[in-house]
Structure 1
Amino acid sequence: MTRARRALIDLSSTSYYHLIARCVRRAFLCGDDKYTGKNFDHRRRWLVERIKLLSSVFAIEIAAYAIMSNHYHLVVKVNRQQALKWSNNEVICRWYKLYRGTPIIDRYLRGEELIEEEQLLVTELIEKWRARLFDISWYMKNLNEFIAKRANKEDGCTGKYWEGRYKSQALLDDAALLSCMAYVDLNPIRANMANKLEDSDFTSIQERIKQLQSNNVYVKSEITHQVKQPKSLKPFGIRDHARTLPFSLLDYLKLVEWTGHHIHTEKNRHILKGTPNILKLLKIGGATWLEVIKNYSNHYGHFVGSKTVLRAHAAKNDVSWYKGVG
């Protein structure tokens, strides 16, 4: 049964969400279309550029992304408190980067004298825009509509481009965030589109690795938290840093590399070796972790977390059961 979006996105429970949108037509979103012989890889760049632009405008940060042949994945963090601290002028400036303004706001910006009713209208508009600038639905609406119009124009056609509304998953704890990010970053590996993380085009992990390489830092070597990270992505840090992802960048890269290696060598019954530090810290067994990543899309529904967290969240929302508990 379809759930109302307000029941799926609850910022009081978590600020992290996994978002997925899928192309509705036979023609690929990106990649090679075997029916027409056309290649649409340039559309992947459209998506990456657009999500980065939107995240520079919205109070929504990108933690991970993967642009696949006919769908894409995003892991984002909503910074509601940041948006609430913006000045009125900053809200207007951000909104005007994407949408046309209104005469009353233009008059306000010019410093013209406004009567009381006009001042109230200005305040209402600014607060409405502020709320939309940390709203995932507005973020996804702006992203998907832009890509649909551009792709339809290129294809010389009209009609729906996306398969219904986007899918969202609330990531309710650190383990959920970690497993979702790894699942997203490993999508090209699992789909046999790439053999190495460095070759996983149009993914956040490739972007992070390239940044390290540009810093002359070898991925497997010891690095500090001061290593320069991509500006357009939410940085890794440590658990006590509120503005960063609660993991070490090096530990995360090692985890994803280890996971991808074991998924690739599963048919050879490769013995699990050297459980990554992050899994030890979160008290997750290596075999359990690999099972979660391999079956992530089937194991969870709209909410991801430990069984205890899922049960508590279900009770909070007066729901008897969430997929992933049983």
Structure 2
Amino acid sequence: MTRARNALIDLSATPYYHLIARCVRRAFLCGEDKYSGKNFDHRREWLVERMKLLSSVFAIEIAAYAIMSNHYHIVVKVNKQTALDWSDDDVIKRWYQLYNGDSLVDRYISGEVFDDATMTFFNEIVSKWRLRLYDISWYMKNLNEFIAKEANKEDNCTGKYWEGRYKSQALLDERALLSCMAYVDLNPIRANMANTLEESDFTSIQERLLHFKAQIKGSKKAQLNPSQNIPQKDEPAHISQPTELKPFAGEYIAGTIPFSLLDYFELVDWSGRHVHPKKTGYISHSIPRVLVTLNIEETVWLEQVQSFRRQYANFAGSKHALSRQAAKNDVKWYKGAG
């Protein structure tokens, strides 16, 4: 049964969401179409560039992404309080990066002094824009409409490009966040489109890994394990992370993903070597440190990163978190709780 979007996006429950959109036409979002012989890989660049531009405008950060042949995944964090803390001028500047704005706001920008009645109308406009700038639906609207227009122009056609509205999953706890991010980053590995994380084109794990390796090149403080080809040891404090992705920084550090970057690299690499349909070579017999910390069984974890989308519906998390959210929304249960 279709549910209203405001029943699926509950920022009081969690700021993290897994978003998926799929093409409706046979023509590929990206990759090579065996029927037409055309290659659409450049559309992946459109998507990545657009989602990053939107995240610089909206109070919505990208935690993970994967651009596949006819669909894409994004894991985002909504920073509602950040948007509420913006000044009116901040809101206007951001909104004007995407839209023409409003004539009344143009007068404000030019320095006109408003009377009380006019100021009330002005405040209503800015408040509406502020709400939209941390609204996932407005983020996805801007992303999907832009790609649809560009693809239709290139295909010399009109009509629907996306398969209905986007799908969303609320990630109710740290375990759901971590497993969903790994699920998203491992999409090309599971689909046998890539053999290694570095070969997983247009994924956040590839971007993070290549950025890290560029940072540590020539450094003696961090090395690569030749059998795993992932960074080893704790990352040096001065090593930066991609500025357009939400950073990892370990536990209890505000504004970051609550896990170590190197622990995440280890976890995703280890998981990929188990789930790849034709993977050969070294597989560590030691369980990644994150799984030990979160007390997650190896088999349970591997099942989650292979079938996360099927295990849960619109809400993902522990049985306790799902039961609590179901009670809050006055429903009997959510998929994954039973």
1:221 aligns with 2:232: yes
Q: Which residue pairs with 1:41 in the alignment?
A: 41
Deviation at 1:266, TM superposition (A): 8.3
Aligned with residue 316 of structure 1, among 308, 318, 328 = 328
1:290 aligns with 2:302: yes
Distance 1:173 1:321 in 2: 17
Distance 1:39 1:297 in 2: 28
Matches within 5 A, 1:70-85: 70-85=70-85
Distance 1:243 1:271 in 2: 33
Q: TM-score, normalised by structure 2?
A: 0.94
5+ residue gaps, structure 2? 225-229
Range with greater deviation from structure 2 (243-252 or 291-300): 291-300
Q: Deviations over 1:153-196 (max 9, x none)?
A: 00000000000000000000000000000000000000011000
Q: Which residue pairs with 2:254 in the alignment?
A: 242
Q: TM-score, normalised by structure 1?
A: 0.97
Deviation at 1:321, TM superposition (A): 0.9
SS in 2 for 1:295: helix
Q: Is residue 225–residue 237 contact of structure 1 (8 Å, CA) maintained in 2?
A: no
Deviation at 1:220, TM superposition (A): 2.7
Range with greater deviation from structure 2 (314-323 or 37-46): 314-323
Q: Is residue 272–residue 286 contact of structure 1 (8 Å, CA) maintained in 2?
A: no
Identity among equivalent positions (%) equals: 65
Letter in 2 for 1:88: D
Q: Which residue pairs with 2:227 in the alignment?
A: none
Q: Which residue pairs with 1:148 in the alignment?
A: 148
Deviation at 1:295, TM superposition (A): 2.0
Q: Structure 1 residues 320 and 111, CA, compared in 2 at 3 Å: closer, same or farther? A: same
Matches within 5 A, 1:126-145: 126-145=126-145
Letter in 1 for 2:167: K
Q: Deviations over 1:197-243 (max 9, x none)?
A: 00000000000011011112543321135421000000001221111
Matches within 5 A, 1:38-187: 38-187=38-187
Q: Deviations over 1:279-304 (max 9, x none)?
A: 11111011110011122121110010
Matches within 5 A, 1:7-18: 7-18=7-18
Q: Structure 1 residues 83 and 271, CA, compared in 2 at 3 Å: closer, same or farther? A: closer
Q: Which residue pairs with 1:196 in the alignment?
A: 196
Q: Structure 1 residues 144 and 260, CA, compared in 2 at 3 Å: closer, same or farther? A: same
SS in 1 for 2:74: strand
Distance 1:142 1:168 in 2: 16
Deviation at 1:264, TM superposition (A): 2.5
Range with greater deviation from structure 2 (252-261 or 223-232): 223-232
Distance 2:266 2:299 in 1: 16
Deviation at 1:113, TM superposition (A): 2.0
Distance 2:120 2:47 in 1: 38
Deviation at 1:35, TM superposition (A): 0.8
Distance 1:227 1:244 in 2: 15
Q: Is residue 225–residue 248 contact of structure 1 (8 Å, CA) maintained in 2?
A: no
Letter in 2 for 1:294: Q
Distance 1:30 1:267 in 2: 25
Deviation at 1:115, TM superposition (A): 2.1
Q: Is residue 59–residue 83 contact of structure 1 (8 Å, CA) maintained in 2?
A: yes
Distance 2:63 2:55 in 1: 11
Aligned length: 325
Q: Structure 1 residues 161 and 256, CA, compared in 2 at 3 Å: closer, same or farther? A: same
Q: Is residue 17–residue 77 contact of structure 1 (8 Å, CA) maintained in 2?
A: yes
Letter in 2 for 1:129: W
Q: Is residue 213–residue 231 contact of structure 2 (8 Å, CA) maintained in 1?
A: no
Aligned with residue 281 of structure 1, among 287, 293, 311 = 293
